[in-house]
Structure 1
């Protein structure tokens, strides 16, 4: 019997992380599995055959995508041709809906089974995208419990599989061990700064976040600032930290989970990392800034009042959000100080994050591979 061969696309660091965890479960179910397409280091660690690196697709925002449009469309065209010339048993698009859904539509039209992993956030943003999902995906693997019912109401097959990170991140992270590993003292007051995993995010957030961190440090002498940096952006982050006067900031390559486990509070760019911070039970200030034209184009498509995933899932402003023009260094610094000066408030939000963690914990590998198997054999 020939080994199962599938194609996958993960378009950025968070997708690579989720796809790597999914591949672990798929290899356990289907020994000899062959997986190929677009991915990153975590997928490659699971034996993934990377045809293009995932960072080619790591672009967010209308204006930013337009700047890279020809290259991205060219990659999608070449990938579609390659897959249609030798069709896999299934294609799994991991997040990156702007890239993946169109590709899934082309493949599905030619008889390739398609699975989309992570439901596009139609409940928060661009609700009309549900029609494209119905046309392009045979099945959607959902990481949030309310999503399948919404998709079923539109005639889309969907399964709640839990969030893979909820099984990776411990319910009670070991702060002392993380601090020891990073060379921090047990009694240090630690601020984690996470400006994002894309070049455009680092461009808009690094200086802004470090200026805010410097202001917070003037009010909290001894505050330790720790930054996990992707290798490609480490030098830019180091330069931004120096420019803000944070010559003592600890900037480490990768290790975002260790940094989140070690910190007391985090200043963090909106995205999957905010959910990771919530699973680590860390109070946070969520922020995001982008090209002004991109923001003006995106704002009318926003459905919910919340921007960050923890607030969306809890359906309340459990943590502060400072977006676009509201994201100023003094405002961000004050929001951080408000956390550090209120331990009771910090404990209360940590209790909310524990309940959220329990909600997201499922046997993701089993549920996801069961759903994929049904799609393949339908």
Structure 2
């Protein structure tokens, strides 16, 4: 009797942890006990039985300067990941998002386990910056699982076979997310304006963005004391966000992952750090303002490499700034408060923006099949072709 198929999944951030858990679940649904997993991940992948050799929160790094400071740690964790692969000898390795970490792992594995199929799940956003990464990735892995149709041509031009699986964020089930119950549980009146703040999931994002949001919300509260505020704390940074929000000089309702979608659906307006959360907010029908800040030196180094017009995916898909983006020097408390205040004061503007966001999601492939199922099928195809095991 042949041993079960062994798949190694490697994720280094909360979003990748969720993708890895979804892929593991889809492979289990297809193969049952005929598949086993090893790898690196967080709590979601742990629920699927994947024991990580280290905490991935320490690898949640964004920006060139931050990356340089963490270089020694990243190098050690790459070595740990490669050592795990060499000990386990998986039939394939799926490297999920987290470009800086996973591309290093891919290059090391290409040498250490030259016959093992390497699959990248989520490519770098080369349409937005550093298009040369497409060529780098094509030389390092065998296949790409891309989230959006507009991703694929960039990598296929470099000879990297690509499967468009769609974004899991477009398939979030918010049917049980009850906005009325969310408001009632916190004593927020049905007609009260509610601003939901989503500061991010990386420690660096919390450090840089939370003080800006505090100052912006203070301005909005001064203009309208009836404004209710809720702050969503991602699991990877929950303690950090909780401590910071507790020190705010006005009341803010803290929201954990379990109530995130209910808060989104209850929001009058959202103020969010750029990332996957913008897609989820659009699904929830929440008009939003998007912000982002890097460390100044990191931004100065990175700015020449930004080639895209927009940071937000649905803005890119629609080729229009549907949701206002305030990046770096524009991400000031004054500008954020002005943009959020404009939406809070104008129901028609909120309705129009929410409708345009929804239309943009359709351009991104909202009606497609479950991405985890498509990804699982693609992984098995690659293993069959590259690894010689049956799909």
Tell me the TM-score normalized by structure 2.
0.90
Equivalent pair of 2:170/2:279 in contact (CA under 8 Å): no
Find the aligned partners of 2:374 and 2:338 in 1 and give their Cα distance.
43
Match of 2:203 in 1: 199
Match of 2:389 in 1: none
Match of 2:381 in 1: 374
Q: Residue 35 of structure 1 aligns to a residue in which SS? A: strand
Find the aligned partners of 1:118 and 1:170 in 2 and give their Cα distance.
23
Find the aligned partners of 2:246 and 2:86 in 1 and give their Cα distance.
50
One of 244, 249, 253 as aligned partner of 2:252: 249
Find the aligned partners of 1:53 and 1:30 in 2 and give their Cα distance.
28
Q: Residue 132 of structure 2 aligns to a residue in which SS? A: helix
Find the aligned partners of 2:239 and 2:168 in 1 and give their Cα distance.
31
Equivalent pair of 1:266/1:282 in contact (CA under 8 Å): yes
Shift of 1:180: 4.0
Equivalent pair of 2:13/2:59 in contact (CA under 8 Å): yes
One of 46, 58, 61 as aligned partner of 2:60: 58
Q: 1:361 to 1:178 in 2, by over 3 A?
A: farther
Find the aligned partners of 2:367 and 2:119 in 1 and give their Cα distance.
21
Equivalent pair of 2:178/2:262 in contact (CA under 8 Å): no
Find the aligned partners of 2:245 and 2:69 in 1 and give their Cα distance.
27
Find the aligned partners of 1:180 and 1:251 in 2 and give their Cα distance.
15
Match of 1:327 in 2: 331
Equivalent pair of 2:200/2:234 in contact (CA under 8 Å): no
Find the aligned partners of 2:185 and 2:316 in 1 and give their Cα distance.
33
Shift of 1:176: 2.3
Find the aligned partners of 1:311 and 1:45 in 2 and give their Cα distance.
34
Q: 1:242 to 1:83 in 2, by over 3 A?
A: closer
Equivalent pair of 1:5/1:34 in contact (CA under 8 Å): yes
Shift of 1:242: 5.0
Find the aligned partners of 2:240 and 2:106 in 1 and give their Cα distance.
35
Find the aligned partners of 1:26 and 1:181 in 2 and give their Cα distance.
38
Match of 1:45 in 2: 47
Match of 1:208 in 2: 212
Structure 2 residue runs of 5 or longer lacking an equivalent are: 386-391
Equivalent pair of 2:228/2:252 in contact (CA under 8 Å): yes
Shift of 1:37: 1.7
Q: Deviations over 1:162-195 (max 9, x none)?
A: 1112222348964324434555332221111111
Equivalent pair of 2:209/2:273 in contact (CA under 8 Å): yes
Matched, 1:357 2:361: yes
Tell me the TM-score normalized by structure 1.
0.93
One of 94, 104, 108 as aligned partner of 2:96: 94
* Aligned 1:290-309 pairs, distance under 5 A: 290-309=294-313
Q: Residue 52 of structure 1 aligns to a residue in which SS? A: coil
Structure 1 residue runs of 5 or longer lacking an equivalent are: none
Match of 1:279 in 2: 283
Shift of 1:106: 2.6
Equivalent pair of 2:202/2:236 in contact (CA under 8 Å): no
Find the aligned partners of 2:237 and 2:375 in 1 and give their Cα distance.
33
Find the aligned partners of 1:158 and 1:350 in 2 and give their Cα distance.
32
Find the aligned partners of 2:383 and 2:239 in 1 and give their Cα distance.
45
Equivalent pair of 1:204/1:290 in contact (CA under 8 Å): yes
Q: 1:10 to 1:221 in 2, by over 3 A?
A: same
Equivalent pair of 1:207/1:241 in contact (CA under 8 Å): no
Find the aligned partners of 1:210 and 1:20 in 2 and give their Cα distance.
33
Q: 1:192 to 1:294 in 2, by over 3 A?
A: same
Find the aligned partners of 2:302 and 2:39 in 1 and give their Cα distance.
29
Match of 2:19 in 1: 18
Q: 1:58 to 1:103 in 2, by over 3 A?
A: same
Q: Deviations over 1:110-162 (max 9, x none)?
A: 11111111121011111010111111121111111222233222211101111
**RMSD, matched Cα:** 2.0
Matched, 1:137 2:144: no
Q: Residue 196 of structure 1 aligns to a residue in which SS? A: coil
Equivalent pair of 1:172/1:280 in contact (CA under 8 Å): no
Shift of 1:254: 2.9
Q: Residue 47 of structure 1 aligns to a residue in which SS? A: coil
Find the aligned partners of 1:40 and 1:46 in 2 and give their Cα distance.
10
Matched, 1:77 2:79: yes
